[in-house]
Chain A
Amino acid sequence: MIDALPLSVTLPLLGAFAVTVWPAHARALGLLAAVLTAASALTVTAAVWTEGVLRADLGGWGAPLGIALEADGLSAAFLSMANTVALAISVYAGGYFKRESARHFWPLWLLLWSALNGLFLAADLFNLYVTLELLGLSAAALGALTGTREAVAANLRYLLVGLLGSMSYLLGVALVYTAYGVLDIGLVAEAIEPGPVAWTAMTLMISGLILKAALFPMHFWLPPAHANAPAPVSAALSALVVKAAFYLVLRLWLDVFAPVLNEAAANLLGILGAAAVVWGSWRALRAERLKLLAAYSTVAQMGYLFIAFPLLAATPPGLARDNLLAAVVLLALTHGFAKAGFFLAAGMVQKTAGHDRIDELGGAAQALPAATFAIGLAGVALIGLPPSGTFLAKWMMLEQAMILGLWWWLVVMMIGTLLAAAYIFRVLSRAFNREPTPYRFVNDARTELPALLLGLIATFGLGIAAQPLWALLEQGAFG
């Protein structure tokens, strides 16, 4: 079982190598690598579920010097979401990219996937830096795949901002190493003490990461970069890449800097999150293009995740805090599925209609019933209607905010939900506009079904079957 840990990082890497060597078979080899990678990652999740925390010391070197991979409930939860979504994106991309662009897509995509799995599993602060950089480089290259001027300029900006974030993170790592002489997350957590050094390191590392997670007001690079990328890439960037940065913030917050934390830092993150919810939702409502709407909606949804920090900081350890943590993870996972489904379906609409201007989408529901249904399902999850996972997660966060008497977070979440409902219904109202006779429900199984499945998982899967997530997070994430 331990072997599945390194496999989920090395398999996509081998796949990337294979598609580079045999570009003529890029699609077949890429899909094969995608299936194998997802299978190995889901094996890891299953193993964490049954056996508890997994750890692999690569090359037989022990903790202080060697490079370790570790999977606990938190990483397993994100890992399984990311790999399911990535598999759906791969199937979609198989139908989306034609011969020439497929050659460029597959190597970069598998490289990004490898970095993503490595990031969720790395147990060492410096390795996290390497995976972060690998993720940023492959994401920027993928985003510029269309080669248009807007896409290249947006992704150049994304790359530079990402580098700035990484430098800040690396400086924090250097400080941690100076003070404690170790880089392994567990060992740093044991050694860390409140004080100016730990506080500066935390500030540097977390501010680098929130730059990459596009938290307001550092979100400016996200909408153009995500809206101008090809649909499968937008789905990966919005659902997975910014989520990875959030995962790291959560991981550092819970595991490494827990003794250093104070309420001021948590409140600052919460306030920025609240601003992101309001501003992102507002801009999404005003967006003229479907993919730009989806990108601004990502800014807003990332905001909800950061509102959780002041709530987590104010809740004493115990069942209530565990539930809150699980709710945050559930929110992040549901958004991953929903946003990927939304972008994949939006890509289908854009491809069929030749544009994605929302006001001119009349008849999309008749021409593309499955894609429109997927957008609707993803919309249900983005708004947070029952039975989606978002509904459950928001409910628990609202309840905890009320118990703590922090009612202003409640107001922000309500405003965000109303605005989300407004922008989703705006899209749907245009899509159902006029045009007679529905012809076929599914037009292109390979591109429409993955989007539909992701939407279904986001609305029904995670909402109704949320209980296993709690069981998974009991493996090391709670407490």
Chain B
Amino acid sequence: MSLKTNWRYLLQIFLSFFKIGPVTFGGGYAMIPMIEREVVQKRKWVKTKEVSEIFAIAESVPGAIAINSATFIGYRLAGVKGAIIAMTGVLLPTFLIVVALSILFLFIKDNPFVESAFVGIRAAIVALIAFAAYKIGLTAIYDKTTLVITILTAAILYFLHIHPVLIIVGGIGLGIAVVNVKKLLGYATRLDRNDK
């Protein structure tokens, strides 16, 4: 591949992901069908089977799923350069929009109408977070152990104020330990909800 077409290819990757960002409100999961349409159906860069594998991994590693998927696809298409370009493409529009909204918010937040609107919005944000807990709970809680871990985590955070980062890191070790201890005791653990 000549240097010139290489740059054109990178630009195409950048633009594909740049387009996806600004139209997907409501978090990363909203971007998944958009990414699929762009890279599978339109560009034919990746096959459907591969892209679902990419989404599965994007979900398992730390970070936002949309950004992770873009980075992963970028890497598959054009190596490290592709990964960086795709990540920048997906991040840049939302970055600019959020900065614009932050500036706007600083200007209007003392307006009495905005103040009263935000009193109501804060209650809705609690509902949004509670709903996120409900949705992830559907896949996370399916036996006694996972139920106990969930309740303990919320209680420990509320009463003991341990840093959440420690709790998350602890969660990795705890998961591995619990599965192995149960195995030693002769119990099988279903590793996710759909395991038979």
Partners in one complex: no
Binding site for A on B (CB under 8 A): none
